[in-house]
Amino acid sequence: MKGIILHGGHGTRLRPLTHTGPKQLLPIANKPMSEYCIESIKEAGIKDIAIIIGGIGSKKVREYYGTGEKFGLSFTYIEQDSPKGIAHAIHLCKDFVNNEKFLVFLGDNIIQKSINEFALKFEKSNFDATILLCKVDNPSRFGIASVKEGKIIKIIEKPKNPSSDLAVTGIYFLTSKIFEIIDNLKPSWRNELEITDALDILLEKNHNLSYEIITDYWKDTGTPEDIIHANGQLIEKMKDSFLGIRENNVKIDGNVIVGKNSIIKSDVIIKGPVIIGENCIVNSGTVIGPNTSIGDNSNISKCNVMNSIIMKNCKINLNVNIKNSIISNYSEIISDNQLSAEKVFLLGEGTKIFF
């Protein structure tokens, strides 16, 4: 079985975070979100993976992932010249798949459950497709599957009046039969070739489509709120460790991970779940957490940071509560003044703010 990761798109709902790179490289718990997808695929025993790239930051994807050798995998890069839909991206992989069964994983999907069992089941089955479903609170945001007596009877993309709460996740097990469907697929109102439409046509042809339900955590990280939520969830599941330097009178509570050479100075409070990368400095009087990640080489002073993501090489020195924020690489926020009690930031890479 082969693997495909979709790593394109413009990430418009995540601007300004995506002005300088693809959303799938945005870090969750200090690691690009698409790396979790790669780990899931690898765990399922798949070693040959195509990565669909296109748009802003394609070069960054190639630079970060390389040939796949450092992951014990083999990567093939396939360019999608413009965002024409998931089905279009999958069709670009027809030669790569070469009539094998394959797994498609959208690079902005976070799942905590292993998909190994699903992969083994599909390999042994005669199904033309198996899709993973998950119950959601807001079904009109997703492709939705209607299920009756253990069988899918209809799949609809973002219905105004959803017939169920079972969202089609961005994880699909497919055979080469899907390419025949996509060959004749018409663009949707978004002028894209929708995978949900392709799956629904496949369903109508022979009903040889199965499903599995994810009961663990799954998140389609399409908004800043989604990313922040996934960040906290993943850190909470990680094993705590402290590889840095801890000065006197540091209070740590809950699940906390601190990387090599990071210095936590005296009178700092850390409320887990929190992850702090390598070579960071957290200065006296700072409160970090809960649900917070701080990237490598960052320097944090005076503030209280909670429910937020601070990426690599950031410098923050201001007396304020930072909440529900995402602050991109190489950003600086500096102030010598007492500011309002709370600030929310959504900052693109290299942003500099001086109050």
Give residue-wise pLDDT tens across range 185-205. Answer: 998 888 888 898 999 899 888
Residue 343 has pLDDT above 60, yes or no: yes
CA 217 to chain centre: 12
For the chain, the distance separating the N- and C-terminal CA atoms, rounded to the nearest angstrom, is 55
Is residue 139 located within the same domain as residue 211? yes
Among 234, 255, 275, the domain boundary falls at 234
How far apart CA 187 and CA 192 sit, in angstroms, is 5
> What span, in angstroms and rounded, lies between the C-alpha atoms of 154 and 162?
11
Question: Into how many domains does the chain fold?
Answer: 2
- Which tens digit of pLDDT belongs to each residue from 253-288? 999 999 999 999 999 999 999 999 999 999 999 999
Q: Which two tokens stand for residue 354?
A: 């001086």
Whether 221 and 310 share a structural domain: no
**Separation CA 257–CA 276 (nearest Å):** 6
Q: What are phi and psi of 252, to 5 degrees?
A: -125, 130
Is residue 101 domain-shared with residue 61, that is, in the same domain? yes
d(CA 347, CA 34): 21
| 282 and 227 inside one domain | no
Whether residues 104 and 228 fall in one domain? yes
What is the rounded average pLDDT for all residues in the chain?
Answer: 91
> Rounded to 5 degrees, what angle do the CA atoms 175, 179, 183 make?
165
My answer on whether 309 and 229 are in the same domain is no
Whether residues 275 and 202 share a domain: the answer is no
Q: Mark whether 90 and 227 lie in a shared domain.
A: yes
Residues in the chain: 355
Beta bridge partners of 310: 294, 327
- The tokens describing 321, both together, are 């509560």
Whether 86 and 126 share a structural domain: yes
Q: Between these two residues, 78 and 141, which has the higher pLDDT value?
A: 78
Residues 68 and 307: their CA atoms lie apart, in Å, by: 32
**What backbone phi and psi angles, to 5 degrees, belong to 60?**
-65, -35
List the structure tokens of 233: 């969830």
Could you give the percent of the chain with pLDDT greater than 70?
98
Separation CA 206–CA 202 (nearest Å)? 7
**Residues 243, 226 share a domain:** no
Q: Would you state the pLDDT for residue 23?
A: 84
Lowest average pLDDT, out of 153-162, 229-238, 318-327, goes to 153-162
C-alpha pair distances (Å), 139 with each of 9, 38, 120, 130: 22, 26, 29, 20
pLDDT score of 11: 57
Distances from the Cα of 40 to the Cα of 4, 33, 47, 109, 340, angstroms: 12, 12, 11, 11, 43
Q: How much is the pLDDT for 307?
A: 97
Residue 126 has pLDDT above 80, yes or no: yes
Q: Say if residue 73 is in the same domain as residue 217.
A: yes
CB 118 within 8 A of CB 101: no
pTM score above 0.85: yes
Is 134 in the same domain as 254? no
CATH of the domain at 131: 3.90.550.10
Amino acid letter, 309: I
Q: Whole domain around residue 340: which residue ranges?
A: 239-354
